[in-house]
């Protein structure tokens, strides 16, 4: 029995050593705010990878309330500890909710992506939207950050990841900002479709 357990442990350690790494650097949408971690889209993404026999481990480095500045402050540690082959960036909504300058948001996101690329990782950018509190001009500038940055960096991006969730009442929490457990599979599917080509 002891030999069997030892063999299992060695096998698991070997799998962990050879598996590729994916880092999700995000805010509350990726951290699973208001729901069980097991229900979140990041966990569902790991399940999809397992089901498709994709040898990848997802490291969720997301913090509720985080901004692009916070992500920029944390990216080096994530690159060092997790050694990702792919970095998924889901940040910017909290910046927008605070009315921070779009050029600053874009600059922070660009620097996060550059550091990931310099470390040898592929980048997937997830775009967000915010309520129209700051007027049409600000909203237009904010929305354009993600496609512009994706083009400039030559990286794929997922258009508003909550497109089919945000206006569906039974997929949102009562605060109207965060998806509930029902909305998580929709987000996971959207991310999966853009992630799949990066796994090859």
Nearest-angstrom CA–CA distance, 142 and 150: 14
Q: Which pLDDT value is given to residue 184?
A: 98
Q: Which domains does the chain have, with CATH numbers?
A: 19-64+81-199 (3.40.50.1110)
Q: Which pLDDT value is given to residue 11?
A: 40
Mean pLDDT per 10-residue section of the chain, whose length is 200 residues = 48 58 98 97 98 94 98 98 98 98 99 98 97 95 98 97 95 96 98 96
Q: Which residues are catalytic?
A: 28, 175, 178
Contacts of 150 (CB under 8 A, 6+ apart): 125, 156, 157
Nearest-angstrom CA–CA distance, 47 and 50: 5
Q: Which pLDDT value is given to residue 15?
A: 46
Q: Which pLDDT value is given to residue 112?
A: 99
Q: What angle do CA 106, 180, 175 make, to 5 degrees?
A: 70
The pTM assigned to this predicted structure is 0.90
């Amino acid at each position: 029995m002891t030999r069997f357990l030892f063999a299992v442990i060695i096998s698991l350690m070997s799998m962990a050593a050879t598996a590729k790494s994916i880092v999700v650097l995000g805010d509350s949408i990726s951290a699973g705010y208001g729901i069980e971690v097991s229900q979140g889209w990041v966990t569902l993404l790991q399940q999809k990878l397992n089901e498709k026999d994709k040898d990848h481990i997802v490291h969720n480095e997301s913090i509720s309330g985080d901004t692009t500045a916070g992500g920029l402050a944390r990216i080096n540690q994530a690159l060092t500890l997790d050694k990702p082959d792919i970095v998924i960036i889901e940040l910017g909504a909290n910046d927008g909710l605070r009315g921070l300058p779009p050029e600053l948001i874009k600059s922070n996101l660009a620097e996060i992506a550059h550091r990931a690329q310099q470390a040898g990782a592929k980048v997937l950018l997830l775009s967000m939207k915010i309520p129209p509190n700051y007027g049409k001009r600000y909203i237009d500038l904010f929305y354009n950050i993600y496609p512009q940055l994706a083009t400039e960096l030559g990286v794929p991006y997922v258009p508003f990841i909550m497109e089919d969730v945000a206006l569906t009442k039974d997929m949102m929490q009562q605060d109207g900002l965060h998806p509930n457990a029902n909305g998580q599979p929709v987000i996971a599917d959207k991310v999966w479709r853009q992630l799949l080509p990066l796994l090859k």
